[in-house]
Amino acid sequence: MHQRQWEKIIFALLCLILLFAGVGILMVQWGMVQPSALFISTGLESVEVLLGNFFSGTGRLGQYTQNYLLFDRFVAGDIQLYPILNQWLGIFSWLLVLILATLLTLLKRNAFLLGAGLLVLLLTISGVNSLNIGGVGTNYGLVICLVTVLLPAALIHLFFENTSLGWRILIVMGAGLTGLGLLIYLARAPYPTVLFSENIFLMTMSMAAGFLIYTGQSMISGLYLILARLNQGVGIKIGWHFALLGTAYLALMGLMLLDITGSLNGWPLPPLELMLVLTGLVGYFDIHHKIRNSKQPYSFSWVGNLFYLTGFAICLLVVFKARLAFNTPMLDFVRHFFIYSQLGFGLLFFLYIWVNFSGIINSGTAIEKIVYKPPFFPYFHMRLGAVLSLLIFIVYADGIVAVQFSTSSTQLSADYYLAANRPVEATVLYENAFERYRRNQKALYASAQLYLDQNQPTLALNTLMRSFEENPQVRDIILLSELLEKRDRINEAIYYLEEGLKYYPSNAYLANNLGLIYHQMKRPDDALEVLGRMNGQTASQRLNRLGIKIMHGKGLEEGDEEAATLKEMVNLTAHANVMGKKTAIELPVDSISQVQDPVNRAMLRNHFTAMETGVAAGRFLEMVDTLLNDQNLLLSHEESVRESGLVLAYRAGRINELLRRLNGMAFRFKRNAGYYHAFAGYVFAREGDFKKAAASWNQAAFSGFARFTPAHLPYLYFGGMQDQALFVSGTQGVDFPEWMRFDDGQQLIGNDTVKFYQILADLPEMLGKELMPALNELESESHRAFLAKEMILKKGHWFEPEQLDALLDLASAQEFLVVDSDYLSAYVRQVKGLETTNGAQWSADPHNAYLTPMVLAAANDLADDEKRYALLQEASQFNKDPLLWIELVRYSRIIGMDQYASSNLAMMAEWIAPEDLLELQLENF
In this predicted model, what pLDDT tens digit does every residue of 867-881 receive, in sequence order? 999 999 999 999 999
**Does the residue 830 lie in any domain?**
yes
Report d(CA 814, CA 140) in Å as an integer.
102
Report d(CA 310, CA 203) in Å as an integer.
14
**What pLDDT is attached to residue 613?**
83
Q: How much of the chain, in percent, has pLDDT values that exceed 70?
A: 95
**What pLDDT is attached to residue 350?**
87
**Does the residue 727 lie in any domain?**
no
**What pLDDT is attached to residue 816?**
65
3-state DSSP assignment of residue 517: helix
Are 224 and 353 part of one and the same domain? yes
Are 173 and 268 part of one and the same domain? no
Count up the domains in the chain and report the number: 4
Report d(CA 147, CA 105) in Å as an integer.
15
Check residue 762 and report its DSSP letter: H
**What pLDDT is attached to residue 837?**
46
Q: Is the pLDDT of residue 111 over 70?
A: yes
Write down which residue in 842, 865, 883 finishes a domain: 842
Q: Is the pLDDT of residue 265 over 80?
A: no
Q: Which residues contact 689 (CB under 8 A, 6 or more apart)?
A: 764, 850, 878
**What pLDDT is attached to residue 838?**
46
Report d(CA 550, CA 561) in Å as an integer.
11
Mean pLDDT within 84-107: 93
The most distant pair of C-alpha atoms in the chain lies apart, rounded to whole Å, by: 136
Are 127 and 268 part of one and the same domain? no
**Does the residue 482 lie in any domain?**
no
**What pLDDT is attached to residue 233?**
64
Write down which residue in 819, 842, 865 finishes a domain: 842
Are 245 and 354 part of one and the same domain? yes
In this predicted model, what pLDDT tens digit does every residue of 887-900 receive, in sequence order? 999 999 999 888 88
In this predicted model, what pLDDT tens digit does every residue of 754-793 receive, in sequence order? 999 999 999 999 999 999 999 999 999 999 999 999 999 9
Would you say 716 and 725 are in contact if contact means Cβ atoms under 8 Å apart? yes
Would you say 146 and 223 are in contact if contact means Cβ atoms under 8 Å apart? no
Would you say 139 and 129 are in contact if contact means Cβ atoms under 8 Å apart? yes
Are 223 and 357 part of one and the same domain? yes
Are 222 and 347 part of one and the same domain? yes
Would you say 235 and 362 are in contact if contact means Cβ atoms under 8 Å apart? yes
**Does the residue 403 lie in any domain?**
no
Write down which residue in 842, 866, 892 finishes a domain: 842
Mean pLDDT within 280-303: 83
Are 825 and 877 part of one and the same domain? no
Alpha-helical (H) ranges within 236-271 are: 238-260
Would you say 451 and 435 are in contact if contact means Cβ atoms under 8 Å apart? no
Mean pLDDT within 692-710: 95
In this predicted model, what pLDDT tens digit does every residue of 438-469 receive, in sequence order? 889 899 999 999 999 999 999 999 999 999 99
**What pLDDT is attached to residue 7?**
85
What is the model's pTM? 0.84
Q: Which domain holds residue 776?
A: 771-842
Q: Is the pLDDT of residue 365 over 80?
A: no
Mean pLDDT within 386-391: 85
**What pLDDT is attached to residue 840?**
40
Are 274 and 343 part of one and the same domain? yes
Q: Which residues contact 187 (CB under 8 A, 6 or more apart)?
A: 131, 132, 133, 141, 195, 196
Closest CA to 182 of 196, 164, 162: 196
SS3 of 620-654: HHHHHHHHCCCCCCCHHHHHHHHHHHHHHHHHHCC
Mean pLDDT within 703-713: 94
In this predicted model, what pLDDT tens digit does every residue of 613-668 receive, in sequence order? 877 778 898 999 999 998 889 999 999 999 999 999 999 999 999 999 999 999 99
Point out which residues pair with 48 in neighbouring strands.
66
Where residue 817 falls among pLDDT bands split at 50, 70, 90? Answer: low
The count of other CB atoms within 10 Å of the CB of residue 251 is: 10
* Burial group, residue 606, by CB count within 10 angstroms (0-12, 13-18, 19+): buried
Tell me how far CA of residue 738 lies from CA of 57, 60, 749, 756, in angstroms: 14, 15, 11, 15
**What pLDDT is attached to residue 832?**
83
SS3 of 52-108: EEEECCCCEEEEEEEEEEEEEEEEECCCCCCHHHHHHHHHHHHHHHHHHHHHHCCEC
Are 338 and 189 part of one and the same domain? no
Where residue 290 falls among pLDDT bands split at 50, 70, 90? Answer: confident
Backbone angles phi, psi at 487, to 5 degrees: -95, 10
Report d(CA 145, CA 176) in Å as an integer.
8
Are 259 and 386 part of one and the same domain? yes
In this predicted model, what pLDDT tens digit does every residue of 509-541 receive, in sequence order? 999 999 999 999 999 999 999 998 888 778 899
Are 329 and 353 part of one and the same domain? yes
**What pLDDT is attached to residue 743?**
87
In this predicted model, what pLDDT tens digit does every residue of 21-66 receive, in sequence order? 999 898 888 777 776 678 899 999 999 999 999 999 898 999 999 9
**What pLDDT is attached to residue 854?**
92
Report d(CA 779, CA 2) in Å as an integer.
115
**What pLDDT is attached to residue 559?**
80
**What pLDDT is attached to residue 755?**
96
Where residue 370 falls among pLDDT bands split at 50, 70, 90? Answer: low
Q: Is the pLDDT of residue 431 over 80?
A: yes
**Does the residue 110 lie in any domain?**
yes
**Does the residue 798 lie in any domain?**
yes
Q: Is the pLDDT of residue 835 over 60?
A: no
Tell me how far CA of residue 321 lies from CA of 47, 81, 326, in angstroms: 47, 11, 8
Are 857 and 836 part of one and the same domain? no
**Does the residue 892 lie in any domain?**
yes
Q: Is the pLDDT of residue 480 over 90?
A: yes
Where residue 368 falls among pLDDT bands split at 50, 70, 90? Answer: low
**Does the residue 352 lie in any domain?**
yes
Q: How much of the chain, in percent, has pLDDT values that exceed 90?
A: 63
Alpha-helical (H) ranges within 719-780 are: 722-731, 752-762, 771-776
Angle (nearest 5°) at CA 658 between 653 and 664 = 175
Closest CA to 346 of 258, 354, 793: 354
Mean pLDDT within 249-255: 92
| Lowest model confidence (mean pLDDT) among 128-132, 211-215, 310-314, 562-566 | 562-566
**What pLDDT is attached to residue 842?**
44
Where residue 114 falls among pLDDT bands split at 50, 70, 90? Answer: very high
Report d(CA 139, CA 502) in Å as an integer.
52
Q: Is the dihedral of CA 482, 483, 487, 491 positive or negative?
A: negative
Average pLDDT score, the chain? 89
* Burial group, residue 274, by CB count within 10 angstroms (0-12, 13-18, 19+): exposed
400-419 vs 328-357: helix axis angle to the nearest 10?
Answer: 150
**537 against 415, higher pLDDT:** 415
